Amino acid sequence: MKLLTSLGHTLFRTRNVVFPLLLIGVCLLLPPAALNAPGAGWVVLCGLLVLVLGQGLRVLTIGLDYIRRGGRDGRIHADRLVTGGVFASCRNPMYTGNVTMVIGFFALAGNLWGLIVGGAIGWLVYRAIIAAEESFLAELFGAEYAEYCRRVPRWLPAPAVLIRVASGHRFDWAAVVLREYGTLMTTAAIVLILLAVKAARAGTLDAWAPLLIALAGLTAVAWGVARFLKKSRRLRPWNAG
Residue 233's pLDDT is: 84
Structural domains for the chain:
2-170 (1.20.120)
Q: Report yes or no on whether pTM surpasses 0.85.
A: yes
Residue 241's pLDDT is: 46
DSSP for the chain, written as a single string: -HHHHHHHHHHHHTHHHHHHHHHHHHHHHSPPPPTTSTTHHHHHHHHHHHHHHHHHHHHHHHHHH------BTTB---SS---SGGGGT-S-HHHHHHHHHHHHHHHHHT-HHHHHHHHHHHHHHHHHHHHHHHHHHHHHHTHHHHHHHHHS-SSSPPHHHHHHHHHHS---HHHHHHHHHHHHHHHHHHHHHHHHHHHHHHT-HHHHHHHHHHHHHHHHHHHHHHHHHHHHT-S--S---
70 Cβ neighbours under 8 A, 6+ residues apart: none
pLDDT in tens, the chain (241 residues): 778 888 888 888 888 888 989 999 999 999 999 999 999 999 999 999 999 999 999 999 998 876 655 566 567 877 788 888 899 999 999 999 999 999 999 999 999 999 999 999 999 999 999 999 999 999 999 999 999 999 999 999 888 888 888 787 788 888 898 889 999 999 999 999 999 999 999 999 999 999 999 999 999 999 999 999 988 888 877 755 4
Residue 73's pLDDT is: 56
